[in-house]
Amino acid sequence: MEITARAPGKIILAGEHAVVHGCTAFASSINLYTSVTLRLLPEEEDTIEIQLNDVGRHLSWPIERIKKVLSYIGSPFPSKPRPCSLETVEALAALVDEQYSPGKEVTIASGVSALLWLYACVLGFKPVRVIVSSELPVGAGLGSSAAYCVALSAALLAFSDVVNLSIGQKGRVIFEEREIDLLNKWAFIGEKIIHGNPSGIDNAVSTFGNVIKFKSGCMTRISAKMPVRMLITNTKVSRDTMALITNVSLRKSRHPDAMSSVLNAIESISDEWCSIIQSHAKDHRALSTNEVKLAELMEINQGLLISLGVSHAAIDTVLRTTTKYKLASKLTGAGGGGCVLTLLPTELSEAVLEKLVEELESFGFQCYTAGIGGKGIEINVNGDP
């Protein structure tokens, strides 16, 4: 039997940086996915094989080599998510370095470490083949690592004894709510191996889908009723998220009153965005009115983010280009590069969109179109269960 799980990426719609200071942010799933296919191999093969399609890497280890590093684990414990100690993270990194010299691909290498930990904890030391492919760029702020950890956790749990494998139409595996919660917890552990101290927003959005509102550590799942389509432009400019967050905090310490006003304004935008996308437009005119409101909020939000000092010349280039087409844009995530969102009204023609994308790509940027608020994790069985 073979299991394929796919999980969506995410975008921050509003509230980036303000969320660090106790304000509301909200994030949405997007219909760009990472897929993980897992197949159990015959016992006599005694290997774990990992195929990373998007970087053209194929890795494999004898099971005994994995056991040597993780000998203390013993039997698998899929129902009890267990953090990976720093010592074990370092041991796994050394193991991965034996076959994978990452260079600049550190996130991918740490992703392999996360795979090995989740595999041993959830499945034990069974011979397996794991194939990973993704539509999401790595390190662009679109939740690629979270989508990977969610899809991986789902595929592993589907083979474990803690999931009641209920198979619906077309081989779709149906997880119960408690099983979905469990895979989200395992995915968060994988995210910690990759990023150290993530918020948990990315894996939650990828697991449950739709929209999640986040404030002071509390997450609320929201159902978006308004269809929204975005152009996502990846500037391909890498950024130091921690440095950007630190600089905002320093600016706040120097100008507490002014910065508090900016952060409160961003929170108001988040709340209004949330209210609009939860409303159901009764006709096309009402939908267009809501799209105008969202566009205005994006423009205001971007201005406020500029005042926080987190924009970048590449982001400004995207903004100038989309403004020529009378479209509203804002950065998403940490800023300082990364990705920019552009709202695509329902009345925008495909010809105009193609012209815009061509112009943006002439700067060396990479563009994706994506709807927001779609499904979370999806799991399918290939072959006989």
Torsion angles phi and psi, residue 12, rounded to 5: -85, 115
Token digits for 127?
A: 């011979």
| One-letter amino acid of 145 | S
> How many helices and strands in the chain, by DSSP H and E?
11, 14
Q: Which residues are catalytically annotated?
A: 202
Cβ-contact 211, 264 below 8 angstroms: no
Sequence-distant (6+) residues with CB within 8 A of 67 are 125
Burial of 21 (0-12, 13-18, 19+ CB in 10 A): middle
Cβ-contact 252, 153 below 8 angstroms: no
State how far Cα 126 lies from the chain centre.
28
Beta strands in the chain, from DSSP E residues, in sequence order: 2-14, 25-40, 47-52, 57-62, 128-134, 166-167, 172-174, 211-215, 218-222, 229-234, 329-332, 339-344, 366-371, 378-382
Token digits for 33?
A: 């996915």
State how far Cα 370 lies from the chain centre.
14
Cα–Cα distance between 111 and 195 in angstroms, integer?
A: 10
Among 143, 292, 201, residue whose Cα is nearest residue 15: 201
Cα–Cα distance between 69 and 92 in angstroms, integer?
A: 7
Distances (CA, A) of 49 to 4, 106, 108, 123: 16, 20, 16, 14
CB atoms within 10 A of CB 261: 13
CB atoms within 10 A of CB 73: 17
Token digits for 32?
A: 């760009």
